[in-house]
């Protein structure tokens, strides 16, 4: 699956290591993975990152930032968010271009009641003080040999000190001093610059999780021409052009609910989690069955499937080339093939049978 969410009642340090090594990340008191993202109606790939701490050394940038912040006091302790943290986070949220968690406690513990907080993560906080004023905080979760950087927030009045990067370097140093092998800073999204700062933390030992091979690869080998979301769109649009040339009706759609399984009340339903598909044939608007083609970068194959509607959307109609009418599941696989022309042949040949499924 491209999107998964788990709610473990207990998570050992060794289990967290395994999750992190497979491209998962903490969300409240749950843990999730996703290979695609959506910001402002545009779709991106999430590329999971990690830093090999055993072979990393301080860069000139790190040394410069450490020197710049030498006058500030740093305290490290087990996570225990206070009103100071909440005030700083609230101020930080005002300048964000997207909506982060509404509070620090929500970030760490989700929507739990205060009197019965579940804590499945071993979380450390790093605080930066200018005398007695809290100006920056970072959280990280500890596994056995790995740690994950969860969040950093800071006072924007101190932007010239690069506190965000400084907090990341402090996390890495803490991990190295405590014998951790890997530090996981989360993901970056190619062409979406908000997360690009992670690429500069430890260039020589930075690795990414390849979606096709499921292996960690040195980031210097990252090929921007092989970004999964771009490949999916390219393959489907190529098929669409061929079908257009043959007079076969089709529509390219981004699927706005690809990550619906991340919602608590929908989790585990096995909903369609592909970010785009090609609708085939002239299907009635409210049909329960939707013939469509998806492209899976993991097996490099086109799949002709029958999707079925699950829940009708309460949202306004999506923008052009987006689909949000229903939540969808895969009902049946009809044909799988690697060659785009062959898939076009199959669609052209069996189109009448597919469109008559409901008769």
Q: Which residues pair with 207 in a beta bridge?
A: 50, 218
* Predicted TM-score (pTM) of this structure: 0.92
Angle between helical axes of 340-355 and 228-245 (0-180°, round to 10)? 70
Q: Which of 329, 331, 325, 332 is nearest to 256 (CA)?
A: 325
Contact by Cβ (8 Å): 30, 110: yes
Angle at 41 between CA 37 and CA 43, to 5 degrees: 35
Could you please state the CATH topology (level 3) that the domain comprising 3-221 is classified under. Answer: Aminopeptidase (3.40.630)
Q: What is the pLDDT of residue 283?
A: 66
Compute the distance between CA of residue 283 and CA of residue 199 in angstroms, rounded to an integer: 45
Task: List, for residues 32-46, the tens digit of each pLDDT value.
Answer: 999 999 998 899 999
8 Cβ partners below 8 Å, 6+ apart? 15, 30, 31, 120
The residue with tokens 């194959």 is 301
Q: Which of 291, 187, 188, 219 is nearest to 56 (CA)?
A: 219
Compute the Cα dihedral for 173, 175, 181, 187 and give only its sign.
negative
Query: Which pair of structure tokens corresponds to residue 88?
Result: 């700083």
Helix (H) or strand (E) holding 171: helix 163-177
Contact by Cβ (8 Å): 123, 107: no
Q: What is the pLDDT of residue 267?
A: 85
Q: Which of 255, 216, 207 is nearest to 232 (CA)?
A: 255
Compute the distance between CA of residue 256 and CA of residue 242 in angstroms, rounded to an integer: 25
Query: Which pair of structure tokens corresponds to residue 276?
Result: 């785009």
Q: Under DSSP, is residue 56 helix (H, G, I), strand (E, B) or coil? A: coil
Helices (H), ranges, the chain: 13-21, 60-68, 83-93, 104-109, 163-177, 228-245, 340-355
Compute the distance between CA of residue 187 and CA of residue 196 in angstroms, rounded to an integer: 9
Q: What is the pLDDT of residue 19?
A: 98
Per-residue model confidence as pLDDT tens for the chain (359 residues): 899 999 999 999 999 999 999 999 999 999 999 999 999 889 999 999 999 999 999 999 999 999 999 999 999 999 999 999 999 999 998 877 666 788 999 999 987 665 557 789 999 999 999 999 999 999 999 999 999 999 999 999 999 999 999 999 999 999 999 999 999 999 999 999 999 999 999 999 999 999 999 999 999 999 999 999 999 999 999 999 999 999 899 999 999 999 999 888 888 888 999 999 999 886 666 678 899 999 999 999 999 999 999 999 888 888 889 999 999 999 999 999 999 999 999 998 876 565 555 45
Q: What is the pLDDT of residue 114?
A: 56
Q: What is the pLDDT of residue 158?
A: 95
Q: What is the pLDDT of residue 14?
A: 98
Q: What is the pLDDT of residue 101?
A: 85
Boundaries of every domain in the chain: 3-221, 228-355
Q: What is the pLDDT of residue 10?
A: 94
Compute the distance between CA of residue 5 and CA of residue 25 in angstroms, rounded to an integer: 10
Q: What is the pLDDT of residue 264?
A: 82
């Amino acid at each position: 699956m491209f999107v998964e969410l788990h709610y473990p009642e207990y998570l050992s340090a060794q289990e967290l290591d395994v999750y992190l090594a497979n491209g998962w990340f903490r969300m409240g008191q749950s843990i999730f993975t996703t290979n695609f993202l959506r910001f402002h109606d545009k779709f991106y790939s999430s590329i999971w990152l990690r830093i090999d701490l055993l072979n990393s050394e301080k860069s000139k940038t790190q040394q410069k930032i450490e020197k710049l912040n030498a006058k500030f006091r740093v305290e490290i302790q087990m996570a225990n968010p206070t009103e100071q943290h909440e005030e700083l986070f609230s101020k930080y949220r005002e300048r964000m271009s997207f909506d982060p968690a509404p509070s620090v406690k929500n970030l760490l513990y989700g929507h739990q009641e205060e009197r019965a907080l579940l804590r499945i993560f071993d979380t450390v906080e790093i605080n930066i003080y200018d005398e007695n004023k809290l100006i920056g905080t970072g959280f990280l979760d500890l596994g056995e040999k790995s740690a994950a950087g969860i969040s950093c927030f800071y006072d924007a009045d101190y932007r010239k000190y690069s506190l965000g990067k400084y907090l990341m370097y402090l996390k890495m140093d803490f991990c190295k001093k405590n014998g951790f092998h890997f530090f996981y800073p989360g993901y970056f999204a190619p062409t979406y610059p908000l997360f690009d700062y992670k690429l500069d933390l430890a260039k020589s030992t930075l690795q990414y999780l390849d979606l096709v091979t499921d292996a960690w690869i040195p980031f210097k080998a990252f090929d921007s021409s092989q970004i999964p979301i771009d490949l999916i769109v390219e393959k489907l649009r190529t098929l669409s052009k061929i079908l257009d040339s043959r007079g076969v009706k089709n529509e390219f759609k981004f699927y706005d609910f690809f990550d619906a399984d991340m919602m608590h009340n929908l989790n585990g339903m096995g909903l369609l989690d592909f970010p785009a598909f090609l609708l085939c044939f002239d299907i009635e608007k409210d049909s329960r069955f939707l013939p469509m083609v998806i492209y899976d970068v993991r097996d490099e194959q086109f799949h002709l499937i029958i999707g079925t509607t699950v829940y009708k959307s309460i949202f306004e109609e999506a923008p052009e080339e987006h689909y949000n009418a229903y939540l969808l599941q895969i009902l049946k696989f009809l044909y799988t093939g690697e060659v785009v022309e062959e898939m076009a042949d199959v669609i052209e040949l069996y189109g009448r049978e597919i469109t008559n499924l409901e008769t």
